[in-house]
Chain A
Amino acid sequence: MTVATVAQSSMEAVRVDDDTRAWLSDLRSDGQARDAAIARLHALLLRAARFEAGRRRAALPHIRPSELDEIATEAADDALLSVLARLDDFRGLSRFTTWAYKFALLEAAVKLRKRAWQGREIPLDDDAWSGFSTGGLGPAGAAEQSELLAALQDGIASLTPHQRRVLVALAVNGVAVDVLADRLGTTRGALYKTLHDARGNLRAYLEERGF
């Protein structure tokens, strides 16, 4: 594959392949060339969104194929807007198509996770951890397992209420992060940061006690 060096908006010189250069040139042009490029881009994103829907189809038997395709089309539409809005953010560190694909996969995955949880109760009971029992924790003896379990339960109890609720919902109850983010009026990134902090505190709590 031949490559060329192009100047990005950041003035950083990066090497991009011919296909990527053509995509950027067409999408930054005017008139029919741009319209045609946008149509090709939408087709590319729809292919990616349908790919994601296809990967999840077996896990979503209650959703009709026509609805899955509607969700994929909505995901492609939303991804198209995101890609066009962020075109100047593309740094040329991958092929343009790979960069674009990730927007469609994200949109489709988020919509399908939310659809999978639609109508289901979102368990926010942060007492779920108190029912843990020993068993299955590697080769350690029963006494050691009981000590670890007790320390885990104490460690979880020592977290802030918000950290505990997020940790239990995501790690214990298996709530999808995008679904919980919607429910709590926050973002995936912010929620994961809370999960990360909770895990760090729990790990430190155990380490201080010799685990």
Chain B
Amino acid sequence: MDDAMLSRLLGPKGPEVGCDECFEQLDRYVELEVDGDDADAAVPGLRAHLEGCPACHEEHESLVALVRES
């Protein structure tokens, strides 16, 4: 048991969106992020979800990388 395991067990603090809402908002959130705007204010709860959901986290990282490369 370490702090990483504890984080995985307890998840993020505070409200978070679910996977479906994350997918719906992801393109807008990523563009705001890449443009340097306040994505977290525009889409509350999405950052917490990315901390708690490894699959959505991976897809977010990929979309950021792809948009930056495009």
Where the two chains meet, the residues of A that have a C-beta atom closer than 8 Å to any C-beta of B are 48, 51-52, 55, 93-95, 97-99, 101-102, 105-106, 109, 113, 132-138, 149, 152, 156, 167, 170-172, 176-178, 188-189, 192-193, 195-196, 199-200, 202-203, 206
Q: With A188-B55, A193-B18, A196-B52 given, is the CB distance from A105 to B28 under 8 Å? A: no
Q: Are A138 and B3 in contact (CB under 8 A)?
A: yes
Query: In the complex, what distance in Å separates the CA atom of A202 from the CA atom of B11?
Result: 10
Give how many A-B residue pairs fall within 8 Å (CB-CB). Answer: 104
How many residues does chain B have at the interface if contact means C-beta atoms less than 8 Å apart?
A: 33
Q: Is the contact region of chain B dominated by helix, strand, or loop, or is it mixed? A: helix
Query: In the complex, what distance in Å separates the CA atom of A132 from the CA atom of B2?
Result: 9
Most buried by A among B2, B9, B30, B53: B9
By a CB distance below 8 angstroms, the chain A residues around B70 are 97
Query: Contacting A95 at CB < 8 Å: which of B13, B20, B31?
Result: B31
Where the two chains meet, the residues of B that have a C-beta atom closer than 8 Å to any C-beta of A are 1-3, 5-6, 8-11, 13, 16, 18-20, 23, 26-28, 30-31, 52-55, 58-59, 62-63, 65-67, 69-70
Q: Are B30 and A203 in contact (CB under 8 A)?
A: no
Most buried by A among B1, B18, B19, B30: B1
Q: Are B3 and A136 in contact (CB under 8 A)?
A: yes
Q: Is the contact region of chain A dominated by helix, strand, or loop, or is it mixed? A: helix
Query: Contacting B59 at CB < 8 Å: which of A102, A132, A133?
Result: A102
Q: Are B1 and A98 in contact (CB under 8 A)?
A: no
Q: With A105-B59, A137-B3 given, is the CB distance from A48 to B66 under 8 Å? A: yes
Q: Are B31 and A105 in contact (CB under 8 A)?
A: no
Q: Are A99 and B27 in contact (CB under 8 A)?
A: yes
Q: Are A199 and B66 in contact (CB under 8 A)?
A: no
Q: With A98-B27, A109-B55, A177-B55 given, is the CB distance from A136 to B2 under 8 Å? A: yes
Query: In the complex, what distance in Å separates the CA atom of A88 from the CA atom of B29?
Result: 20
Q: Are A199 and B63 in contact (CB under 8 A)?
A: no
By a CB distance below 8 angstroms, the chain B residues around A93 are 27-28
| Given A177-B54, A177-B55, A199-B10: 6 more A-B contacts, CB < 8 Å | A55-B62, A55-B65, A105-B66, A109-B55, A136-B1, A178-B55
Q: With A109-B58, A199-B10 given, is the CB distance from A98 to B30 under 8 Å? A: yes
Q: With A105-B59, A176-B55 given, is the CB distance from A188 to B9 under 8 Å? A: no
23 A-B pairs in the complex with CB atoms less than 8 angstroms apart: A93-B27, A93-B28, A94-B28, A94-B30, A94-B31, A102-B23, A102-B59, A102-B63, A105-B62, A132-B1, A132-B5, A135-B2, A136-B1, A136-B3, A136-B5, A156-B9, A177-B19, A189-B18, A192-B19, A196-B11, A199-B9, A202-B9, A203-B11
